[in-house]
C-alpha cells in the first residue's frame, strides 16, 4: 500500500497557535494547539515578543512529531498563516529590536492624525489610522528613536516564523499591501520617505504559493527532521481561512469569527467604501476587513457572568433561557474598533436595560450586536460593488454555534454556509502548500477539491421586520454614544482619584 503524504499547516491566531498534518484530500490526520503567547495589554498598548510564537511553533509541531512519528516523516511542505496588522521590527542581524505591536495597539493614534496632514494628496493618506503600519513606524521614530534608527526590516508574524525556519526574509503582497502602497511615490515622494525610511524595510515579496526557501539544517527538534522541506510564503490568516471556506473567488462573501471578526466581499473589480479595506487579493478585489470583536466578545460576557461551561457551552445555555420581549442593544466596541470606524476610542454599551432583563437577554444582545456590525460592513461592501451576494461563508469558533449562525442569517438577510473543516485557516494553509507543490493547478481547483459544506442556515423572513427595526436602533445608538466614548477614554487619563483604581496605567 502506498503511504500517504501530508503537509504541515500552521495557523498563528490571536490567542492560540494550531498546527496540523493534512492529507492531499483535505483530511486532518493529526492536530495540536497551544494557548498564547500572553499579550502585554494595557490602556491603548498591546505588544508581545515574537520569540513567543517561535516557542509555540516548536511546541505544537513537536507534539505532532510525538503523536505521529511515521506520518511526520512524510511531511512534504510547510505553510503558515497568521494574524496581520502586527509589526515585528528587526535589526540588520535579524534580531527583534523590541516586542511586536499587535493588531490592538493604538499608541500611534495621535501620530496618525499628523501623518495624514503631512502626506496631503498621497493615495494612502486617507487610510492612515492608529492601526496602519506607517503610523506604527512613525510612532516608533518618535517614541523610540534608537530602535527606529536600527530598523532594517518589518515582518508580519507568519513571515517571522518563515524566517526562523529558512533564514530568509520574505512576505506576500496581501499581508504587506499597506506598506507596499506607502513605498509608491506621489509627486515624487513616497509615504515611507516622508518618515525617513527606504523601501528596504519591506522584505522581498512572493506570492502565497511561492516557496521562500527549504527548512534550514541547523534547527532544533522537531525541525531537524524536516531539513530541506520547502516552506511556502503563505498569507495572512483571513486570506487563508477564506480559501479554507471555499470563498476565495469573485461574488462570494465570508465571515470569520475567531478571537475577532472579519467580514469581506470579493469582486472582480476594484471598489472603495467608507471604512472598508480594499486590497488586491491576487486577481480578486477584497472589500471589508477585521473588527476588534467577535468570539472574544462572547468570552468577555461569559467571564462577566461567571459561566462554568466554557464559552460555547455557557452561551448555548444562556440562549436556551426565556427572553424578555423588549430587546437590549449591545455596541460591541470593547477594544475600540477597526473596520469600519478605525477608532481606538470607541467603547461598548448595553442600551435599553430594564430591571427584568437577565443573562439570556445579554447573551442575545451580544450576538446580535456583532451581527449588526456584520450587516453594516456587508451593506457598505455590496453598495460599493453594485451587487449583492447570495451567501456568506462562515468559519471560526463561533461557526460551531447554530444559534449565532442563524442570528447572522436573519440580521444580514443572507444564507450562512458553514464548511466541514473545523479550522478553515489550517485547511487554507494546506491549500497553499498543496497548490505550491503542484498537486492542484490553481487555488480555485484546490478549493473545489478540498472544501466541503456542512450546514446551511436560511434567513427567516418572519424575523426580518423586527431585526430591521433593531438594526436601525443599533445605528442610532452608535451615533449617539460615539462622542461619549471619546470623553470617557479622555477621562481615563485624569481619573487617578477615582475610588478602587489601584494602578490606572495597567487598566485595559
- The residues near 89 (Cβ < 8 Å, ≥ 6 apart) are 96, 97, 98, 100, 140, 147, 151, 153, 154
pLDDT digits (tens, 9 = 90+) for 223-259: 999 999 999 999 999 999 999 999 999 999 999 987 7
Structure confidence at residue 283 (pLDDT): 86
* Measured distance CA(258)–CA(16) in Å, rounded: 10
C-alpha cell at position 143:
517614541
Q: Domain 247-420+452-487: give its CATH superfamily.
A: ATPase, nucleotide binding domain (3.30.420.40)
Q: Is the pLDDT of residue 411 over 70?
A: yes
Structure confidence at residue 494 (pLDDT): 76
The candidate with the shortest Cα–Cα distance to 406, out of 368, 369, 380, is 368
R_g of the chain computed on alpha carbons: 22
* Measured distance CA(254)–CA(392) in Å, rounded: 5
> What values do phi and psi take at 145, rounded to 5?
-60, -30
* Measured distance CA(102)–CA(37) in Å, rounded: 12
Q: At CB < 8 A and 24+ separation, what contacts does 195-201 make? A: 195/115, 195/134, 195/137, 195/138, 195/141, 196/141, 196/148, 197/137, 197/151, 200/152, 200/153, 201/137, 201/151, 201/152, 201/153, 201/154
* Measured distance CA(206)–CA(185) in Å, rounded: 21
Within 13 A of 300's CA, how many CA atoms are on the CB side?
17
The candidate with the shortest Cα–Cα distance to 291, out of 264, 252, 267, is 264
Structure confidence at residue 309 (pLDDT): 83
3-state helix, strand, coil in the chain (%, to 5): 40, 20, 40
The candidate with the shortest Cα–Cα distance to 33, out of 52, 10, 66, 51, is 10
Q: Cite the residue boundaries of each domain of the chain with CATH code 3.30.420.40.
A: 6-237, 247-420+452-487
pLDDT digits (tens, 9 = 90+) for 261-317: 999 999 999 999 999 999 999 889 999 999 988 888 999 999 999 887 888 899 999
> What values do phi and psi take at 11, rounded to 5?
-130, 110
Q: How far is CA 269 from CA 254, 262, 275, 284, in A?
A: 17, 21, 18, 7
Instruction: Output the CA torsion sign for 224, 226, 227, 230.
Output: negative
* Measured distance CA(434)–CA(446) in Å, rounded: 8
The residues pairing with 267 across neighbouring beta strands, listed in sequence order, are 285
* Measured distance CA(6)–CA(3) in Å, rounded: 10
pTM of the model: 0.89
Q: How far is CA 370 from CA 290, 409, 486, in A?
A: 12, 12, 21
Asked whether the beta carbons of 463 and 471 are under 8 A apart, the reply is no
Q: How are beta strands 277-280 and 253-257 bridged, if at all?
A: unpaired
Q: Is the pLDDT of residue 187 over 50?
A: yes
Section 152-159 average pLDDT? 98
Section 81-103 average pLDDT? 96
Third-level CATH fold of 6-237: Nucleotidyltransferase; domain 5 (3.30.420)
At 264 the three-state DSSP class reads strand
Q: Across all residues in the chain, what is the average pLDDT?
A: 94
The residues pairing with 230 across neighbouring beta strands, listed in sequence order, are 214
Section 44-61 average pLDDT? 97
Instruction: Output the CA torsion sign for 70, 74, 77, 81.
Output: negative
In this predicted model, which residue has the larger pLDDT, 254 or 491? 254
* Measured distance CA(111)–CA(168) in Å, rounded: 32
* Range scoring the smallest mean pLDDT among 110-114, 132-136, 494-498: 494-498
C-alpha cell at position 471:
438594526
Amino acid at each position: 500500500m502506498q503511504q500517504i503524504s501530508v503537509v504541515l499547516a500552521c495557523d498563528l491566531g490571536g490567542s492560540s497557535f494550531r498546527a496540523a498534518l493534512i492529507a492531499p484530500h483535505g483530511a486532518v490526520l493529526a492536530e495540536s494547539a497551544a494557548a498564547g503567547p500572553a499579550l502585554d495589554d494595557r490602556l491603548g498598548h498591546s505588544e508581545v515578543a515574537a520569540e513567543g510564537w517561535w516557542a509555540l511553533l516548536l511546541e505544537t509541531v513537536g507534539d505532532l512529531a510525538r503523536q505521529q512519528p511515521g506520518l511526520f516523516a512524510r511531511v512534504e511542505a510547510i505553510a503558515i498563516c497568521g494574524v496581520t496588522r502586527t509589526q515585528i521590527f528587526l535589526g540588520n542581524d535579524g534580531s527583534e529590536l523590541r516586542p511586536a505591536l499587535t493588531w490592538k495597539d493604538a499608541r500611534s493614534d495621535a501620530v496618525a492624525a499628523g501623518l495624514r496632514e503631512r502626506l496631503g494628496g498621497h493615495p494612502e493618506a486617507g487610510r492612515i489610522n492608529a492601526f496602519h503600519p506607517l503610523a506604527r513606524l512613525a510612532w516608533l521614530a518618535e517614541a523610540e528613536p534608537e530602535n527606529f534608527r536600527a530598523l532594517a526590516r518589518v515582518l508580519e508574524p507568519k513571515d517571522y516564523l518563515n524566517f526562523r525556519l529558512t533564514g530568509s526574509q520574505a512576505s506576500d503582497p496581501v499581508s504587506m499591501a499597506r506598506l507596499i502602497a506607502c513605498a509608491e511615490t506621489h509627486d515624487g515622494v513616497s509615504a515611507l520617505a516622508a518618515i525617513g525610511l527606504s523601501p528596504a524595510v519591506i522584505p522581498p515579496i512572493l506570492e502565497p504559493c511561492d516557496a521562500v526557501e527549504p527548512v534550514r539544517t541547523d534547527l532544533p527538534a522537531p525541525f531537524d527532521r524536516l531539513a530541506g522541506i520547502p516552506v511556502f510564503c503563505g498569507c495572512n490568516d483571513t486570506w487563508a481561512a477564506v480559501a479554507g471556506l471555499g470563498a476565495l473567488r469573485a461574488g462570494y462573501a465570508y465571515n470569520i469569527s475567531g478571537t475577532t471578526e472579519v467580514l469581506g466581499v470579493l469582486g472582480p473589480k476594484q471598489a472603495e467604501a467608507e471604512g472598508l479595506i480594499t486590497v488586491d487579493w491576487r486577481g480578486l478585489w477584497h472589500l471589508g476587513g477585521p473588527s476588534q470583536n467577535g468570539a472574544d466578545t462572547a468570552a468577555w460576557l461569559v467571564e462577566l457572568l461567571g459561566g462554568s461551561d466554557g464559552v460555547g457551552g455557557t452561551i448555548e445555555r444562556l440562549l436556551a433561557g426565556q427572553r424578555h420581549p423588549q430587546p437590549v442593544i449591545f455596541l460591541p466596541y470593547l477594544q475600540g474598533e477597526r473596520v469600519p470606524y478605525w477608532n481606538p476610542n470607541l467603547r461598548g454599551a448595553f442600551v435599553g436595560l430594564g430591571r427584568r432583563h437577565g443573562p439570556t437577554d445579554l447573551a442575545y444582545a451580544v450576538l446580535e450586536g456583532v451581527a449588526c456590525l456584520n450587516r453594516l460592513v456587508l451593506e457598505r461592501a455590496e453598495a460599493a460593488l453594485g451587487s449583492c451576494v447570495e451567501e456568506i461563508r462562515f468559519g471560526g469558533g463561533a461557526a460551531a454555534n447554530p444559534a449565532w449562525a442563524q442570528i447572522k442569517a436573519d440580521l444580514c438577510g443572507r444564507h450562512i454556509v458553514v464548511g466541514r473543516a473545523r479550522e478553515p485557516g489550517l485547511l487554507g494553509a494546506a491549500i497553499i502548500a498543496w497548490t505550491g507543490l503542484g498537486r492542484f493547478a490553481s487555488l480555485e481547483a484546490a478549493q473545489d477539491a478540498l472544501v466541503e459544506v456542512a450546514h446551511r442556515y436560511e434567513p427567516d423572513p418572519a424575523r426580518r421586520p423586527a431585526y430591521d427595526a433593531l438594526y436601525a436602533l443599533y445605528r442610532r445608538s452608535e451615533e449617539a454614544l460615539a462622542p461619549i466614548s471619546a470623553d470617557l477614554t479622555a477621562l481615563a487619563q485624569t481619573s487617578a482619584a477615582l475610588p478602587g483604581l489601584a494602578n490606572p496605567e495597567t487598566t485595559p
